[in-house]
Amino acid sequence: MGRDLLPALALVAGFVAALALFFWLLTSGLDPLVQISFVIAPLSLFAVVFLWRFSIGRVAGPPEQALAAIAHAMRRSLYRVEEAPGELTIRIGSVSAVKIRARAVSDGTKLSYTVYATSTGWSILLILFFLWELAFFTIPAVLYILLEARGFVRERILPLVASGVLPAALAPPGDVRAMLIDSLSEGYRLASEAGETERSTYHDQLLIAFVLGFLTWAVVVIGMFLSSAEPDFGQRVRDATLVATVAGSALAVGAGLWARLTFRRRIQRLDRWAASLREALAREVGESPVAEPRSSTFELLVEASREIPTWFAALGRGGPFREPGTWLAVFMVAFWGLFLIGGSEPAAPPFSPWRMSCTRAGVAGWIPRGPGSSLLGTSASPRSVARWRRSSRTCDVMASASPPDRPDLYVVARLLERLWRENGPMLKTRLQVAANVNYDVFTRYLSWMVGKGLVSMENSPDGHERVAMTTKGYEAYRKLVQWINEIVHNRVPGS
């Protein structure tokens, strides 16, 4: 079976198996801690594959000579090679690479290799591990990279060292053709990496434009909704959403067009240089038909040398977003920082076991809510944790909410009025927004109203917690409105 076919088959088969396992975990109702423990298997495979040093063999001669010969041979095969003291990094594909290491021993040089990944490959793996529910999908990805690296070493490296002596003709010292090939290959690598980095920076700018557009949309929606005097809730939402969508889209599209105009020519120029250098390299090693070039190889290298500062500038512009470990660490710090400071339900990821409220999986009270809900602040007492009743699929009490000592009847009336107008259960967040009270006040009053039997908490099949008015609540609302109209506004029933 070919080197390209086996990794592809492993990727497809592994993906299907991981997809089946993912849906099984999603619907199994296992305890979240048990689900998290399943991450250990792909994490262990990841560590073994990328930390293990696989032996290649021994060759005569010093390590520097062995690595130089291998690097020259790979460049003749049009692979991108990066040299470092004691090792080579050879890019195999878009996500896979391999590191060749050389160590001096008594009878020559011992060669070994470790499986490696490109920036794209590391980004995919780290993101899948961060979203721990998707960690099983790293198994086919890791196996794919492993099989590609293993097949590459067997087909390309082992034939060079099988006899124990590297062919001297691979990179004869001082050979002009060998120096041309090495120079063209290094220029091709730099131009390609600069183009990839510039394209990555362009995509980062597009992402930032989208985020700015979304934030603008959210700010406009909230601002217009809270400042609108429209009494109809639905109309307020529609008006605010329409204006916010126009404003957010205009900002996102404008920023995206600016990024496109800024980076398009740079990327095209770098792509042209990479293509020219690769074409010249293929011509020098005999991998392409010999044709009359527009300029000689020497002239091309001289012109390319003038572009090197531009290429390094492009590599520098990549910044932390080009390094997957760095930007992922920044993302994780920001994400969990908001989660710890806020300690609120919206901060948790969609499938996270730390989502609060009573859920379909039957988990509640991982994080305290309401006053003192921050993990950095005062922790809630066990009595403040919501209790899950599997038989009824409802919550017994409101989590982390201390009822007010002297409730404001205007607030109670406002909440009951919204439920009465809805004529059915309402989402907690929608009720809070409709009543125009902050989350702290809302949770305390809702806890008080549940305790008095005015409302009840229900969990719908979609997992969202809703507030429903009880018969006692309807009667209380009627009496409360009648009292307010009679006493406060000097109205009589029916006026």
The 10s digit of each residue's pLDDT in 204-224 is: 889 899 999 999 999 999 998
Instruction: Please indicate whether residue 492 or residue 104 has the higher confidence score (pLDDT).
Output: 104
- In angstroms, the CA 448 to CA 407 distance is 8
* Residue 466 · residue 427 · CB < 8 Å: yes
| Cα 443 to Cα 312: distance, rounded to the nearest angstrom | 55
| Closest C-alpha among 88, 45, 47 to residue 68 | 88
What pLDDT score was predicted for residue 273?
A: 93
- Domain assignment of residue 337, yes or no: no
Point out the domain boundary residue: 124, 150, 166.
Answer: 166
* Residue with tokens 């020259």, as numbered in its chain: 72
Contact 48, 143 (CB under 8 A): no
What distance in Å separates the CA atoms of residue 457 and residue 440, rounded to the nearest whole number? 18
59 within 8 A of 164, measured Cβ to Cβ: yes
How many helices and strands in the chain, by DSSP H and E?
A: 16, 10
pLDDT of residue 393: 34
The first and second tokens of residue 354, run together, are 């730390």
Cα–Cα distance, 362 to 462 (Å, whole number): 13
Q: Are residues 14 and 136 in the same domain?
A: yes
CA 433 to CA 438: how far, in whole Å? 8
Is residue 286 located within the same domain as residue 414?
Answer: no
Give 113's pLDDT tier (boundaries 50, 70, 90): very high
CATH code at 482?
Answer: 1.10.10.10
Q: Which two tokens stand for residue 186?
A: 């290094």
Say if residue 145 is in the same domain as residue 40. yes
Query: Do the beta carbons of residue 365 and residue 354 sit within 8 Å?
Result: no
User: Domain limits at 391?
Assistant: 382-488
Digit-coded pLDDT (tens) for 290-341: 555 556 777 788 888 888 888 888 887 765 545 555 555 555 555 545 444 4
Q: Where are the alpha helices (DSSP H) in 77-175?
A: 119-130, 138-152, 158-161
- CA 452, CA 484: separation in Å to the nearest integer? 20
The model's pTM: 0.55
User: Encoding tokens for residue 455?
Assistant: 């409302």
Structural domain total, the chain: 3
- Averaged pLDDT, 261-275: 92
* CB-based contact 327:201 (threshold 8 Å): no
pLDDT of residue 350: 37
Share of the chain above pLDDT 70, in %: 72
Largest CA distance in the chain: 108
Q: Across all residues in the chain, what is the average pLDDT?
A: 75
Name residues whose C-beta falls within 8 Å of residue 369's C-beta, 6 or more positions apart in sequence: 343, 344, 345, 356, 380, 399, 400, 401, 443
Position 128 confidence tier, pLDDT thresholds 50, 70, 90: confident
- Residue 349, domain member (yes or no): no
pLDDT band at 36 (very low <50, low <70, confident <90, very high): low
* 100 and 162 co-located in one domain: yes
Helices (H), 344-470: 409-422, 428-435, 439-451
Instruction: Give the number of other Cβ atoms within 10 Å of residue 44's Cβ.
Output: 10
First vs last C-alpha separation in the chain: 89
Contact 106, 127 (CB under 8 A): no
Residues 324 and 202 in one domain: yes
Joined tokens for residue 313: 């500038």
Instruction: Say if residue 57 is in the same domain as residue 146.
Output: yes
Both 204 and 141 in one domain: the answer is no
**Residue 493 CB-density burial (10 A; 0-12 exposed, 13-18 middle, 19+ buried):** exposed
- Judged by phi (left if over 0) then psi (alpha if -120 to 50, else beta), residue 57 lies in left
pLDDT in tens, 389-416: 333 333 333 344 566 667 777 788 778 8
Cβ–Cβ under 8 Å, residues 467 and 394 = no
Domain stop point among 331, 352, 371 = 331
90 assigned to some structural domain: yes
Q: Are residues 478 and 404 in the same domain?
A: yes
CB 286 within 8 A of CB 248: no
Q: Report yes or no on 287 lying in a domain.
A: yes
